[in-house]
């Protein structure tokens, strides 16, 4: 019966795995509904690290059916590399279901992503270079390639031809690159068709049936609220809908079936790529967060930009996603600080803003207004009950809860699966 949405509250890399770990084997289906291999989650199970970029996290739970929804863009080479990598480590991927309507990242879109960024120079977005933006642009322009096209050689050829007629003009005339031939693209995509075929289904029906049977369906967002193409810090965003609304369009599950929206909020803030970031730190504190929190991208290895927790963003995430529960991650990283600053509002040219400014330009020069909370020095890694947290850490969580306007149901205190404090169950 219940469909649960899981989103990131900030700019990504909040650690959604913490929430999925907590729900564990009770989740029957995990659906990826947006993005592609620009995402990256590292999951640690029994001390073994798994870095996934495209496959939904549920792939590691034998009882769970992982679903790649229609809202996803798929790089077939990456898909099969991840499948082969997991199979080699004894993880079965037999249950994976892929939407026939998901879009394929064609090789020319990877090329275009990279050359466009280079062309933009200082105005670049700082994309992951995986072809995500150009593939979503094709989808909206109605010249994209979908999974189902792979099974009709003739249609695929027509579509690739139509796309390349334009792309090659851009590649050769604007970017001075070589043209890509239809055969090259067909040769890259077609060999995957036979392996992909048994996984492909009308995932909207698969999920409807699952919900009718009373299964727990988790819709897991890639990226996060402020990277959402509509609600994020445009244009420094990804090209898909990473908020709760996107869970419906990207999966075909109607809004009326969603019962809970869980948002993950890191106890501080990070961001990769370009774009505004009011609480960003350029000093030793920023370095402390980066080193202690090991803030380096799973997908690109880039050092993440780091800053204090911003509860204006937290409140915004609550509003845009209709958050019912927050999971705070990496609280342990803040251990050892004398005081812990929380951004509660912005100062924009002398005017206080308690909510996200309407205009992006205001957000670009928003100065954080901080509240300083007492720090703690005790090790949190073995704490499993809220009452056992140091008083200052408890006070920190309660103040954050008050500021973001939704309850904090769980708190991460270390990278391990079991290093979590549960205050309220995430599943009914
Ligand atoms: P794209 O998704 O590759 O087009 O990149 C657009 C923006 O989203 C860039 O700033 C990326 O760094 C950012 N981004 C994409 N995926 C993630 C993610 O999983 N975590 C954090 N940032 C991301």
Percent of the chain with pLDDT over 70: 99
Q: Is there a contact between 366 and 333 (Cβ–Cβ < 8 Å)?
A: no
Residue 58 confidence (pLDDT) above 70:
yes
- Long-range contacts (CB closer than 8 Å, 24 or more residues apart) made by 293-299: 293/266, 293/268, 293/330, 293/333, 295/13, 295/270, 297/13, 297/40, 297/272, 298/13, 298/40, 298/41, 298/42, 298/51, 298/53, 299/37, 299/38, 299/39, 299/40, 299/53, 299/128, 299/130
Q: CB–CB of 186/232 below 8 Å?
A: no
Q: How far is the CA of 299 from the centre of ligand 1 (A)?
A: 9
Q: Rounded CA gap, 142 and 298, in Å?
A: 31
Strands (E), 257-312: 258-266, 269-271, 305-307, 309-310
Question: Does the CB atom of residue 127 touch ligand 1 within 6 A?
Answer: yes
The 10s digit of each residue's pLDDT in 314-323 is 999 999 999 9
Residue bearing the CA closest to ligand 1, atom 11: 127
Question: Other CB atoms closer than 10 Å to residue 348's CB: what's the count?
Answer: 18
For residue 23, what pLDDT is reported? 87
More confident residue, 299 or 339: 339
Residue 1 above 60 pLDDT?
Answer: no
| Residue 51 pLDDT class (50, 70, 90 cuts) | confident
What confidence tier does 402 reach under pLDDT thresholds 50, 70, 90? very high
Residue 347 pLDDT greater than 70, yes or no: yes
- Is the pLDDT at 331 greater than 80, yes or no? yes
Supply the mean pLDDT for the chain: 95
At residue 229 the predicted structure's pLDDT band, cuts being 50, 70 and 90, is very high
Band of residue 19 on the pLDDT scale cut at 50, 70, 90: confident
Is 202 assigned a catalytic role? no
Sign of CA dihedral 138, 141, 147, 148: negative
CA 383 to ligand 1 centroid distance, Å: 33
User: Please, what is the angle between helix 107-120 and helix 153-169, to 10°?
Assistant: 20
| Ligand 1 atom at minimal distance to the Cα of residue 302 | 12
For ligand 1, atom 1, the nearest C-alpha belongs to 127
Q: Is the CB of 238 under 6 A from ligand 1?
A: yes
Mean pLDDT for 421-428 is 92
CA-nearest residue, atom 20 of ligand 1: 12
Nearest CA to ligand 1 atom 19: 39
With a 6 Å cutoff on the Cβ, whether 272 touches ligand 1 is yes
Q: Which residues are registered as beta bridge partners of 97?
A: 67
pLDDT at residue number 21 = 79
Q: Is the CB of 38 under 6 A from ligand 1?
A: yes
128 lines ligand 1 (CB under 6 A): yes
Cis bond upstream, residue 160 (ω within 30): no
Give me the residues paired with residue 8 across strands.
264
For residue 168, the 8-state DSSP code is H
Probe ligand 1: pick from 231, 272, 274, max atoms within 8 Å of CB?
272
Exactly one of 41, 53, 103, 231 is catalytic; name it: 41
When pLDDT is cut at 50, 70 and 90, the band that residue 405 belongs to is very high
Whether residue 44 has pLDDT greater than 80 = no
Count other Cβ atoms within 10 Å, centred on residue 89: 9
More confident residue, 181 or 17: 181
Angstrom distance (rounded) from CA 234 to CA 129:
18
pLDDT for position 42: 75
Name the least confident of 200-209, 215-224, 393-402, 413-422. Answer: 413-422
Q: Is 41 a catalytic residue?
A: yes
Q: How far is the CA of 251 from the centre of ligand 1 (A)?
A: 21
Number of the ligand 1 atom closest to the C-alpha atom of 8: 20
């Amino acid at each position: 019966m219940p469909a649960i949405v899981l989103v990131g509250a900030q700019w990504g890399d909040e650690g959604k795995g913490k929430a999925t770990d907590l729900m564990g084997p009770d989740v029957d289906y995990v659906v990826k509904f947006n993005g592609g291999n620009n995402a990256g989650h590292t999951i640690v199970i029994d001390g073994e690290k798994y870095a996934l970029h495209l496959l939904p996290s549920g792939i590691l739970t034998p009882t769970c059916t992982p679903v790649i929804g229609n809202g996803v863009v798929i790089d077939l080479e990456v898909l099969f590399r991840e499948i082969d990598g997991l199979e080699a480590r004894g993880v079965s991927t037999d249950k994976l279901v892929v939407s026939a309507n998901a879009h394929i990242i064609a090789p020319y879109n990877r090329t275009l992503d990279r050359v466009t960024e280079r062309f933009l120079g200082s105005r670049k977005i700082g994309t992951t270079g995986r072809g995500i933006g150009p593939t979503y642009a094709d989808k909206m322009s109605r010249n994209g390639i979908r999974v189902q096209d792979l099974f009709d050689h003739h249609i695929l050829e027509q579509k690739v031809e139509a796309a390349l007629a334009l792309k090659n003009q851009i590649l050769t005339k604007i970017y001075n690159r070589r043209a890509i031939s239809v055969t090259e693209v067909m040769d890259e995509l077609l060999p995957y068709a036979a392996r992909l075929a048994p996984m492909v289904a009308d995932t909207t029906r698969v999920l409807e049936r699952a919900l009718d049977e009373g299964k727990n369906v988790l819709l897991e967002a890639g990226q996060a609220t402020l990277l959402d193409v509509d609600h994020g810090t445009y244009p420094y965003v990804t090209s898909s809908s990473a908020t709760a609304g996107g869970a419906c369009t990207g999966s075909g599950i109607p809004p009326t079936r969603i019962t809970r929206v869980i948002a993950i909020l890191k106890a501080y803030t990070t961001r990769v790529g370009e774009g505004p970031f009011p609480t960003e730190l350029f000093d030793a504190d920023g370095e402390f967060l980066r080193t202690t929190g090991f803030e380096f991208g799973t997908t690109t290895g880039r050092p993440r930009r780091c800053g204090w927790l911003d509860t204006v963003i937290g409140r915004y995430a609550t509003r845009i996603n209709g958050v019912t529960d927050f999971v705070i991650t990496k609280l342990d990283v803040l251990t050892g600080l004398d005081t812990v600053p929380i951004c509660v509002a912005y100062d924009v040219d002398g005017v206080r803003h308690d909510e996200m400014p309407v205009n992006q330009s205001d957000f670009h020069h928003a100065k954080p207004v901080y509240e300083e909370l007492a720090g703690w020095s005790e090790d949190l890694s073995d704490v499993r009950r809220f009452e056992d947290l140091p008083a200052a850490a408890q006070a920190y969580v309660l103040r954050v809860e008050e500021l973001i306007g939704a309850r904090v149901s769980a708190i991460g205190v270390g990278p391990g699966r079991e290093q979590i404090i549960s205050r309220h169950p995430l599943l009914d």
